[in-house]
Structure 1
Amino acid sequence: MVTSLRSFEQECSSAKDANYQVDRCIDEMTEAIDKHDVDKLCTMWESWNARVFHSLDAEGIKQAQNYEASAYRLFLVQCVQRKNIAKCNEFFRRMSSLTLNNPQWTDWFSFPYNHHAKDTEPFRKYFDKTWIEIYYVSLHNFLSTSLATVSPSVIGTIVEGIARDPLAGDHVDFDEDLIDDFAVIAQCSAPVKRGHSKPSLRNLLKSLTSSKKPSGSTD
């Protein structure tokens, strides 16, 4: 009985630690986006791809690529909202191997100069707060599932490495065309408690909302 109880407690502790590490990963990503840190954001995804997602099946790798692309696009949206076009250009230089001659990125080269992007496809959903919330919850679940077979030491190395050295509003109607694979994954996944990452996500959404206000806005 005692042995079984200790085993159960160890499993619970491991589960909490793994969830905490995923929370930290999400926190680091939202911080990189909020601070317009191109190198940190790209390095994080390069690390995830090399150490975690490379072992997934074809469908899992495709999903990881979709999450990665959306993270970069949320980064571009943040930069445009704060009129930091230089960071957009830096991103396209940094990720030219991904974006050049890629049909999925063709429209995005003109995005920083499109004054009506918020109401234009394919950019519109990246301005929608509900979609953004779904994206982060879904990404959290996807990371948790992907990291299930990765040792805690590897997860810790990824998080600590990125943290130490990045170089190693208004209600919007949620149209049906905004509901994509992220929403499906979020609905099908088990509920996720993001206690450690809530402040960062809340700050990100707060910054998105505040950008709409005429006073104090950086738009």
Structure 2
Amino acid sequence: MEKMQHAEELVREFLVFRGFTSTLESYEAELRTDIGKGFEIDKILDLIFSVYVPKFHADKLVALLGFFKHYLSPSSDTPLVSTLSKLETSLLRFYVVHAVQCNRNDKVVDFFALYGAELLQRSQDWTHWFAIPYKKNPHLDPEFRVFFSKEWYQALHLSSRNFFSEVFNATHILRINSFFFFC
């Protein structure tokens, strides 16, 4: 955390030194809406489970997951990339299940209208999910029942925590930070 703050200060110093005041203003604004939340696990989990999913911000959830895919892509840690892909699928399914539980099938229909083609390109496992907003009691359907259980939710939350802990506690540091450490 201290290293991140030091890097932020160095960026600010550089921008001020070069006279990039409008860039500095933009940088400060971006920091206030930091999508990575400074890589603080609890803040990221709160963002996912207490903001994006409950408030039906599918676009922001997808953007956050995309951010982490991009963050991990230069890494050669293939198991983490594979795990993120599985976690992404589960989090998106959680979004769909939550919308159904809140009787917001319109959000499910919107979600599939926006992301359905991409999801199907990745995996045919999504095919039966397109029917969920039209099922009378999806929580009783054998294909979906597990996703409506408290145990599945708890396992998803724990898996998310463990994944982000692994990513942030590993030696994955931002490339810009490595630049500052060697200067």
TM range (shorter): 0.5 to 0.7
1:25 aligns with 2:24: no
1:58 aligns with 2:78: yes
Larger radius of gyration: 2
Structure 1 gaps, min length 5: 1-9, 12-17, 155-219
1:119 aligns with 2:119: no
Structure 2 gaps, min length 5: 4-36, 177-183
**Separation of aligned partners in 2, 1:150 and 1:59:** 14
Q: Which has the higher helix share?
A: 2
The aligned counterpart of 2:111 is: 91
Which residue among 103, 107, 122 is the counterpart of 2:128? Answer: 107
**Separation of aligned partners in 2, 1:121 and 1:59:** 30
CA RMSD, Structure 1 to Structure 2 (Å): 2.6
Using the size of structure 2 for normalisation, the TM-score is 0.66
SS at match of 1:36: coil
Moved more, 112-121 or 22-31: 112-121
**Separation of aligned partners in 2, 1:153 and 1:66:** 25
Preserved CA contact (<8 Å) 1:36 1:79: yes
Preserved CA contact (<8 Å) 2:72 2:81: no
**Separation of aligned partners in 2, 1:133 and 1:19:** 24
Query: Residues 35-46 of structure 1 correspond to what in structure 2 (within 5 A)?
Result: 35-46=55-66
Paired residues in the alignment total 139
Identity over aligned pairs, percent: 25
Using the size of structure 1 for normalisation, the TM-score is 0.56
* CA shift for structure 1 position 53: 5.5
**Separation of aligned partners in 2, 1:58 and 1:34:** 31
**Separation of aligned partners in 1, 2:73 and 2:165:** 12
The aligned counterpart of 2:11 is: none
The aligned counterpart of 2:167 is: 146
Q: Structure 2 counterpart of 1:109, which letter?
A: F
